[in-house]
Amino acid sequence: METVSTPLTENARVRIAQVVAEGGLLVTPTDTIYGIGAQATDSEAVRKLLAAKGRGRQMPPPVVAAKISDLSAVVTDFNAVAQALAQAFWPGALTLILPARADYVSVLGDLRTLAVRIPDHGELLSVLEHTGPLALTSANLTQAPPALSCSQAIEYFHQEVDIYIDGGTVDGGVPSTIVDVTGVRPRLLRMGAISLAELNQALSALSVTVEETQS
């Protein structure tokens, strides 16, 4: 188990990328809470991630990346609606649900769709530039509160995580808004930091509005 602190040095980023490339787990601060992650394209690393949280394959973790082009490794059909929303709100508190690549479905879990986001967090983005897309979910055991500090995450995972990034205490923030863009019309799945009015404004040039049904 290793710990590195922010601001990250280039050597630290390289070390983090090495750990991830070797199938290790990391904990990192994000723009809301601490997350636990693994290389998104490594099925064994994702299995370890889900096991550490006590979560099954029926709840695949979201994927975060530094740029849209990196997401082509995991999702398809980045349609006009997705492009408009991403241009308006990424990096930021918007999660999009997109179809998972057919050859990728077995890596993350049992669903054929995937939640993706580009986070608004400079240190995390710098890590993602080195690691590529990460499967990243809240740093907590299932049904426990999300970690808001590195020390809290260590209490949850101890030696199960290979490298911890200590960025101090985060404030939790407002969770991301989740929009499903796999259908004919985008659907709001969770209201978060981005309002329905803001979503619709971003889509106005396409004459599309977001369906308000939430689950």
What is the tens place of the pLDDT at every residue in 140-180?
Answer: 998 899 999 999 999 999 999 999 999 999 988 889 999 99
Percentage of the chain exceeding pLDDT 70 = 98
Model confidence over 114-146: pLDDT tens digits?
999 999 999 999 999 999 999 999 999 988 999
Q: Is the pTM of this model over 0.85?
A: yes
E runs forming strands in 80-123: 94-99, 113-117
Instruction: Kindly report the average pLDDT of the chain as a whole number.
Output: 93
Residue 31 and residue 120 in contact, taking contact as beta carbons nearer than 8 Å:
yes
Model confidence over 172-199: pLDDT tens digits?
888 999 999 999 899 999 999 999 999 9
Q: For residue 113, give the nearest of 124, 121, 105, 123 by alpha carbon.
A: 105
Q: Residue 214: pLDDT above 60?
A: no
